[in-house]
Amino acid sequence: MIDIWYINIKNYSNESYAEDLKGLPKGMQQELQRQNSIQEKKLKLLGRLIVRFYEHEKGRDFSLKHWKLGEFGKPYVEGAAHFSISHSGDIVAVAFASDELGLDLEKCVSLDVQSISNYVHPEERNYISQSEDKLTSWFYVWTRKEAFLKAIGRGLQTGTNQENCLESPTWKGETWSIHSEVFLEEYALALCTHNKQTLVYREIDPSFVSEANSLG
């Protein structure tokens, strides 16, 4: 089973953000404050607080002071569940599992698909070009690709046009399963795991994670 907990930040005020920020480790505060927009700051902060809230709900001792990054920037906390954070538009979501995974969420906004088609694998590009709805096909392809790259801990820095993620990609001898679906009507979501599993969604009120943050 995969838990996916998410927050809509529309009603999360600037005052709440400023108050919740104070409860984070100093280094994390500085990192968030370097983000360009208040929207980005809120999404990133709440992603971390969802992780903390989840661990508290599971009865585990957890501190954001132990937050670490892998070689290519994938976050993890030793002793906690594996997790993957994604945000887009007004939504931040975190997927939790007992093994490595990758989550990507994208709001399906209008864009020029042709101008960015070189960022995907030739077979994915062909899939998009033959589709009647190229925009939907683009987000289907892109979310699967990001989810896979996040699952293997590589990220976008290693290039996005090398792997074909339309089926089940392989990395270092391991085959991965990618699940795609429409989320909240206007978002594309993809989850990459070792095996297909049931997804269990839970919407979280920002006040819940704020209370968890006050626990220290």
Angle CA(164)–CA(166)–CA(171) in degrees, nearest 5? Answer: 45
- Flag whether pLDDT at 215 surpasses 70: no
Average pLDDT, the chain: 93
Spatial CA neighbour of 191 closest among 207, 202, 179:
179
Q: What is the pTM of this model?
A: 0.94
Instruction: List Cβ neighbours of 32 (8 Å cut-off, separation of 6 or more).
Output: 21, 24, 41, 44, 45
Q: Which amino acid is at 187?
A: Y
* CATH architecture for segment(s) 1-97+199-216: Alpha-Beta Complex (3.90)
Is-contact 8 91, C-beta < 8 A?
Answer: yes
pLDDT of residue 211: 65
**With pLDDT > 70 as the criterion, what percentage of the chain qualifies?**
95
User: Matching CATH topology for 1-97+199-216 and 100-193?
Assistant: yes
pLDDT of residue 162: 81
The domain limits of the chain are 1-97+199-216, 100-193
Angle CA(24)–CA(102)–CA(141) in degrees, nearest 5? Answer: 125
pLDDT band at 213 (very low <50, low <70, confident <90, very high): low
- Summarised one tens digit per residue, pLDDT across range 102-161 is 999 999 999 999 899 889 999 999 999 999 999 999 999 999 999 999 999 987 766 677
pLDDT of residue 159: 66
The CB-side HSE value for 77 (13 A sphere, CA atoms) comes to: 18
Judge: domain 100-193, CATH 3.90.1530.30: no
